[in-house]
Amino acid sequence: MTVPCADGTAVPSHPSHPQTCRSTGVRLGRRDGSIRPNTVDPRQAAAADLIAAGRRVFVLGRTKRPVANCPACQASKGDPGHDRETCPCLTCHGFYAATDQADRAAAMLAAVPDGLLAIRTGAVSGLAVVDIDPRNGGQLDRELMTPTATVATPGGGWHLYYQHPGRPLPGKLPGRAGVDIKTDGGLVVAPPSTPAGAARGYRWVGDHPVNEMPPALIAACLTPTSPPATPRQPAHPTRVPRFGGGGISDPSALLAATLDTVTRAPEGRRRTTLYGAARGVARIVLAGHLTVTDAVAVLTDVGRRAEQTDRDIRAAIAGGFTAEGLTP
Ligand SMILES: [Zn+2]
Ligand SMILES: [Zn+2]
């Protein structure tokens, strides 16, 4: 992606940084007025920058609601023969319309002149975004949420853009009110969009690149903090389904359910339950959804919360992993 420069040269651009003119070193963009207003729809330039960085973009209505489907797509609702991922319509099916083609994004934005530029998050865009909403009690935890490309939101919160960690994550950071994780199956509104009724729009702050998600944050996402009110899985973890060729449809939920068995177990049964959970988690590792390091970390954490000694925890993990043919 290139943008016009004051002296006519073109420079590569980056979505989280103001552009800098290669020949003059002058920063471009609204800060110094180097790009004449109204010559470029700022959403178009932002969309092109995001696509150049590997993101898939689409357009939402001004109120952040999806653009309405066309009558044909509306009528096809529930029809298995109509694939939302490959539907040729420009703006139908919400984030399924997201594109990595700049000209298609330009057409979308032109079709919805007051629409908001949005990103389809997840592996398709290489992004997992931590969404902190102070209106729901969300707080920035600087220790856990290491510096990365950041957007300030109209609601006074932040979107922290991290590289997708290559594994599914739950939609919420457990135990933290007002902190969502926007990843596979999610979306974020992107700068410079301003939703209806907002005093100001989404904007980049700071100039960090999109960094890797720190392991501690990934572990915090995967670690349940309290047992669910009703069991979602059979109480005995050795009954966690085997994965055969079918794979795991929701590894995060399975991991959470497996770990929950330990915290729910009556006192006298926690040690054997931890062993069973280690076997279940080992299978999640063997299916490629979790690293051994993360698996040991989450099992150690849940074991400690179940008041097991570190020695017993290590023994349970080693025994459970070995039983599943995994080297701890
Ligand atoms: Zn359509
Ligand atoms: Zn369609």
Residues with Cβ within 8 Å of residue 194, at least 6 apart in sequence: 116, 154, 200, 201, 202
Ligand nearest to the CA of 77: 2
**C-alpha 72 – ligand 1 centre gap (Å):** 6
**C-alpha 64 – ligand 1 centre gap (Å):** 19
Q: Residue by residue, what is the 3-state secondary structure of 17-57?
A: CCCECCCCCCECCCCCCCCCCCCCCHHHHHHHHHHHCCCEE
If one counts every other C-beta atom within 10 angstroms of the C-beta of residue 307, the result is 9
Spatial separation of the C-alpha atoms in residues 80 and 27, rounded to whole Å: 50
The answer to whether the peptide bond before residue 328 is cis (omega within 30 degrees of 0) is no
Of 59-63, 69-73, 272-276, least confident by mean pLDDT is 272-276
Residue pointed to by tokens 């069991």:
231
Domain ranges of the chain: 1-40, 55-213, 223-323
The more confident residue out of 275 and 110 is 110
> DSSP secondary structure string, 90-123?
SS-SGGGG-BS-HHHHHHHHHHSTTPEEEEE-BG
What is the reported pLDDT for 29?
A: 40
The more confident residue out of 77 and 103 is 103
Spatial separation of the C-alpha atoms in residues 46 and 213, rounded to whole Å: 23
The more confident residue out of 9 and 175 is 175
The more confident residue out of 63 and 231 is 63
**C-alpha 71 – ligand 1 centre gap (Å):** 7
Taking the CA atoms of residue 147, residue 148, residue 149 and residue 150 in that order, the dihedral angle to the nearest 10 degrees is: -40
pLDDT of 152 > 80? The answer is: yes
What is the reported pLDDT for 47?
A: 98
- Backbone phi, then psi, for 118, in 5-degree steps? -135, 160
What is the reported pLDDT for 18?
A: 42
Residue 189 banded pLDDT, cuts 50, 70, 90:
very high
Residue 296 banded pLDDT, cuts 50, 70, 90:
confident
Identify the burial level of 144 via C-beta atoms within 10 angstroms of its C-beta, where 0-12 means exposed, 13-18 middle and 19 or more buried: middle
Ligand nearest to the CA of 79: 2
What is the reported pLDDT for 252?
A: 72
Per mean pLDDT, which of 29-33, 135-139, 228-232, 317-321 is the most reliable? Answer: 135-139
Name the token pair of 241: 């389904």
Query: What does pLDDT average to over the chain?
Result: 82
CB 22 within 8 A of CB 75: no
What is the reported pLDDT for 226?
A: 53
Query: What residues does the ion ligand 2 have nearby, CB within 5 Å?
Result: 73, 87, 89, 92
Residue 149 banded pLDDT, cuts 50, 70, 90:
very high
Percent of the chain exceeding pLDDT 90 equals: 54
